[in-house]
Structure 1
């Protein structure tokens, strides 16, 4: 089914239960589409191809020391940062944080395995270049405040794939990484989700047995717990705002940070377990927000981060910790539908293959004052489930309808109700 035909039938979705046999709507929607990435291929192959299409310009250029030379510098209206000092670390660190679980899979002789090995080599060389003062792509950790944010994603990369992306680095590169991370202590984090950025940097240092600052992890943990608003949502600071920051930052970084603290005997396991339960509730609500056609509400700041909004859902799938009411195949199918809606829209990529500002296509007007080209590569965090092997039921189980498809075709669903944990 071509995209133009799909768009024609989409307004009829609400009538599907009345005019079509059960399952026809879901089948039609999953059938999409004729795309530049490939049509009618298995979900895993589709997602691998798409992830590589997104990441290739960043990791390939970074490995060659040409990221600063070749990456475009598109900025949101009223952009207020020093773009050339911050956007390149944004692009690289955010991009590889989503690649990490996939790159952590063992090598094999399949086409995917060979591609993964190639990309892993590019990422490792890119990391070395990022912290090498002699490299044309030596990245800025030492001026401005924004590098604290993106260094946190670099740390999350190492925490997600230590054997693949940290241990293979040479000793000089490791020492350079640690040196740059400790320089970030000059930055006083904002009193919101930025506390987690400071905390996860210190948690990573702890994980590799480096000197660390417990105060930064303690403040982050205590404040995030204090800001829990209920029913799976944290407030990003003292005042609640309805956006996707629980997906972009709060749940994934909070639980990743706590896991290190618990594993190192620095925090109570019960707090991690509570954090995961709250993340599961949030993910359960996220899955219900995905419409039958694979769209979702476009609301709040940072909507240009695209698939990163669903990071909790796919991270729980990766960890085999999805809520009981959600089967893995419905997450796979829902996320693939979302990806097709976003990344097959003309204008999402420019002619050279770089991401452009927007949600679905090129929509620079929706970008925030802190959003530039580099910011967009956080979207790879919607692909974390690729860290599951191809033999995992997430990929091998038959296609399954997600909740909204069941609702609007008159099928049985689980009743929803708020939770108190």
Structure 2
């Protein structure tokens, strides 16, 4: 099994003052068109910085609770709105982790990345400190089960950059917070994987893990597999993006740790990866020639987080033979332009707003608030590949739907049996 080892050297001096979000991307202006930038990569990393920096910088300054607008869906349920802060942190960090794990370099991108990484570490030290104004809620509601999982996935994606540099007391506080979730049972759907990946992270750092909770998610989801790359979200199939938001990435990442610790066979990981590869064939084909995709199912306010599975397979260098890295980059760049260049996506201070393409609070689900929206960062995982990688260096390429609707040759697609 091939698993990525991300490396991130950490220096604590001379970086925080180099940039502010306004010097990179103004919250009140659209992002420069890629033809006015050096390449797609520059567009991606500047856009990711624009999305992530309000969360990370405020957390580093101890002002997340003070400054993050806490906007909830019009029909928000009975959970405490304060879970939104943990949502913002867990989801943002899971998306930026591969990029921050790259080694330092002397480029403008490298300086910006280093600044964000140092702030990210400082922010975690801050929000887990006693009496922190940004202290995160792990003790109330069920929502912390979800976003602890994304924080755990963060540490699995970038252990050297975002776990190892933390203060000892911060690590102890995180471990205790993760273990405290065992008094709450995940719901019988994709949530079971949240418990599994959190326990997988604890296992990966040598902490005592809950074996039943570790296995429950991967066992249940495997039993709900429907075929052709799709898992049920519970016993039934849900035609939405939860196979990408949660199921495939967390199934594969959890099984990777289990195989490393001889708690699962290699064949089980390989099968999960094959199913993920099959699923992303469909994801790539769902991107229209114009760079749009169907706004189907719940949680469409998570925007490009819908493409986490495709992004992760690209990061892993595991794209199917029928999909080139360049066509994935080109397709996702166009999708990002369509979503994030639209007025209303960001507020005047750079925070994401409820909506899909632009601002529309009415389409937000009953569990959605400002922090929920930072699932959007999960489509930026290929920034963890260096600029020299084929994903970034190859010339732009048409994706499948663009070829098909231009009467160009494109590969046929067939059902698979695994």
Query: Same fold by TM-score, threshold 0.5 exceeded?
Result: yes
Distance in 1 separating the partners of 2:354 and 2:374 = 11
Looking at secondary structure, tell me which structure has more helix per residue.
1
SS in 1 for 2:82: helix
Distance in 1 separating the partners of 2:45 and 2:281 = 25
Show CA shifts across 1:224-272 (max 9, x none): 1001010000000011111000010000011000001111111111111
1:106 alignment counterpart: 103
Correspondence list, 1:356-395, <5 A: 356-395=353-392
SS in 2 for 1:204: helix
Distance in 1 separating the partners of 2:191 and 2:282 = 24
Q: Which blocks of at least 5 consecutive residues in structure 2 are unaligned?
A: 1-28
Q: Which blocks of at least 5 consecutive residues in structure 1 are unaligned?
A: 1-34
Deviation of 1:120 after TM superposition, in Å, equals 0.2
Distance in 2 separating the partners of 1:245 and 1:367 = 16
2:141 alignment counterpart: 144
Retained in 1: the 8 A contact 2:80–2:141?
Answer: no
Distance in 2 separating the partners of 1:97 and 1:81 = 26
1:253 alignment counterpart: 250
Retained in 1: the 8 A contact 2:327–2:396?
Answer: yes
2:17 alignment counterpart: none
Deviation of 1:83 after TM superposition, in Å, equals 4.0
1:227 alignment counterpart: 224
Retained in 1: the 8 A contact 2:72–2:81?
Answer: no
Show CA shifts across 1:101-150 (max 9, x none): 00000000100000010000110011112222221111011111100100
Distance in 1 separating the partners of 2:224 and 2:123 = 37
Distance in 2 separating the partners of 1:345 and 1:395 = 25
Distance in 1 separating the partners of 2:386 and 2:237 = 38
Retained in 1: the 8 A contact 2:75–2:366?
Answer: yes
Is the counterpart of residue 94 in structure 1 residue 91 in structure 2? yes
- Corresponding residue to 2:167 among 165, 170, 189: 170
Show CA shifts across 1:355-375 (max 9, x none): 001110001111100000000
SS in 2 for 1:84: coil
Q: RMSD between aligned alpha carbons?
A: 0.8
Retained in 2: the 8 A contact 1:290–1:404?
Answer: yes
Deviation of 1:84 after TM superposition, in Å, equals 3.5
When the two structures are aligned, how many residues end up with a matched partner?
A: 387
- After alignment, is 247-256 or 168-177 more displaced? 168-177
Distance in 2 separating the partners of 1:119 and 1:81 = 34
- Corresponding residue to 1:296 among 293, 297, 316: 293
Is the counterpart of residue 332 in structure 1 residue 326 in structure 2? no
Is the counterpart of residue 132 in structure 1 residue 129 in structure 2? yes
Show CA shifts across 1:142-187 (max 9, x none): 1111001000000000000001111111211111110111111111
- Corresponding residue to 1:36 among 19, 23, 30: 30
SS in 2 for 1:136: coil
TM-score where L is the length of structure 2:
0.92
4+ residue segments displaced more than 6 Å? none
Retained in 1: the 8 A contact 2:196–2:217?
Answer: yes
1:23 alignment counterpart: none
1:268 alignment counterpart: 265
- Corresponding residue to 1:313 among 310, 314, 323: 310
